[in-house]
Amino acid sequence: QVQLVESGGGLLQAGGSLRLSCAASGRTFSNYATGWFRQAPGKEREFVSAISKSGANTYYGDSVKGRFTISRDNAKNTVYLQMNSLKPEDTAVYYCAAGSAAAFGPRNPSLYPYWGQGTQVTVSS
C-alpha cells in the first residue's frame, strides 16, 4: 500500500507559478511510476504529467507541455509538479497517483491503483 498526500495548491492570477508536491509513504516509492491528473467541475479527469520510477522518463499532456515540469526525489519520497504560465483553464483539482504498471501506460489512469486526496488550483483571469 502507498499513501499519497498532495500539497501546494492555491489561488493565483493568470501568468503565475505554483509547485505542487506529492509526498508518499508506505511501500518503496521508487518502485512506482507517478502521475498527475486533474479534474475541473463538469469535466472528465485529464492526464497532466507522469514520471518513471527512476525519473529518467517524463510525459506531458498537450495542454501543459512547455509550461509544466515534473520531477521526483526518491530520497524524499516526493514528486513535484512545477507549473508556470498558469492559465484560467488550468483551474482544477490536481491528483497525484502511483502505480508500477503505469510505467507501460503513463497516461492511463486505470493503471494507477494509488491516489491522493487532491489539491485545488484556481487561476483567475
**Calpha distance 69→25 (Å, rounded):** 23
Q: What is residue 28's predicted lDDT score, i.e. its pLDDT?
A: 84
Q: 42 falls in which pLDDT band (50, 70, 90)?
A: very high
Query: What are the start-end ranges of the H helices in the chain?
Result: none
Condensed to tens digits (0 to 9), the pLDDT of residues 3-12 reads 999 999 999 9
CA distances to 62, 110, 119 from 106, rounded to whole Å, are 14, 10, 20
Task: Give the CA distances from residue 58 to residues 2, 27, 97, in Å, rounded to whole numbers and listed in that order.
Answer: 21, 22, 14
Instruction: Please report where in the chains the cell 497532466 appears, as a residue.
Output: 48
Res 27 pLDDT > 80? no
pLDDT in tens, 51-89: 999 999 999 999 999 999 999 999 999 999 999 999 999
pLDDT digits 0-9 by tens, 80-119: 999 999 999 999 999 999 998 898 999 999 999 999 999 9
